Amino acid sequence: MEQVFTDEYFMKKALQEAETAFEKGEIPVGAVIVVNNQVIARSHNLTEMLNDVTAHAEMQSITAAAHFLGGKYLKECTLYVTLEPCQMCAGALYWSQISKIVFGARDEQRGYLSMGTKLHPKTAVVSGVMAQEAADLMVRFFANRRK
Amino acid sequence: MEQVFTDEYFMKKALQEAETAFEKGEIPVGAVIVVNNQVIARSHNLTEMLNDVTAHAEMQSITAAAHFLGGKYLKECTLYVTLEPCQMCAGALYWSQISKIVFGARDEQRGYLSMGTKLHPKTAVVSGVMAQEAADLMVRFFANRRK
């Protein structure tokens, strides 16, 4: 039987969120949080619209998922995010004790890997899922902005 | 002439916020953000009440200060916080390009210094302001909780 709920399946939903951010003139990053193959939170970057550096896609999804679950720990959850999380978001994910993070494109400059941010020891990480699609959207966004 | 608006003056306001957190059963951390000697944001930890790991005092004050200023950068601002910021909060402060951070007690285990989080190169840091008062409040909180 074909597996429906793959990492690509949920990353496509995160990419749809990133496209919504793109259309709003926001740096195009999207995220969803999944538990038992159900999407319980979806969000996209809103730092410009909200005038708030904390309004990254991941931060919003962490808050929304905790609200849905009625508890602040995301121990059975997976975050799908189109871009590697930054220090702030990785720090929030550390506190959440999330089970798994799946991200798309690397952020060599500001991503948590280059910056050395620690995740929770119980958190598994998968990277590079639909990375090209996520990176293409970023490149297109910054090319438009330079025009 | 005596200087009124010292770091201690504003840290006392952050400590008042921490005491409010204490009374609510929250880990007692408080913060204020100041620009031109005016307090433009004040907050305390609300992670339990909001069921949200992102609801640290600093995060709330960053959002509130940006809202007050009508812009997301806190370039002329000083944050006073009773406890050394964590990875998440230091990461948010990095994005905010805040001018100055004044914190009270060290957090040897989870603070940004031990964790290696990078602040913005333009951000100055002062530590240890009313550290004993901040640390005493934490000790009293955890002693109560163990009872």
A56-95 pLDDT, tens digit per residue, is 999 999 999 999 999 999 999 999 999 999 999 999 999 9
pTM exceeds 0.95 = yes
Q: Chain A contact for B49, CB < 8 A?
A: no
- Which uninterrupted H or E stretch holds B67? helix B57-69
Nearest chain A residue to B63, by CA: A52
What ipTM, to 2 d.p.?
Answer: 0.96
Q: Which residue type occupies A85? A: P
Check if A58 is active-site: yes
**pLDDT surpassing 80 at residue A1:** no
**pLDDT surpassing 70 at residue A7:** yes
* DSSP-assigned letters across all residues of B79-101: EEEEE--BHHHHHHHHHHT-SEE
| Lowest model confidence (mean pLDDT) among A5-19, A110-124, A133-147, B6-20 | A133-147
What percentage of chain B reaches a pLDDT higher than 70? 99
Q: Chain B contact for A79, CB < 8 A?
A: no
CA A41, CA A66: separation in Å to the nearest integer?
9
Sheet containing B38-44, strands listed edge to edge, beginning at the edge strand earlier in sequence: B38-44, B30-35, B78-83, B100-105, B124-127
Residues B90 and B62 sit within 8 Å (Cβ to Cβ):
no
Which domains occur in chain B, in start order? 7-138 (3.40.140.10)
Nearest to A36 by CA among A5, A72, A4: A5
B85-130 pLDDT, tens digit per residue, is 999 999 999 999 999 999 999 999 999 999 999 999 999 999 999 9
Nearest chain A residue to B60, by CA: A54
Q: How far is B83 from chain A (nearest CA, A)?
A: 16
Q: How many CB pairs under 8 A join A and B?
A: 95
Report the pLDDT value the prediction gives residue B1, as an integer from 0 to 100: 64
Distances (CA, A) of A70 to A62, A64, A88, B49: 12, 10, 23, 11
Banded model confidence at residue B3, pLDDT cuts 50, 70, 90: confident
CA B125, CA B32: separation in Å to the nearest integer?
15
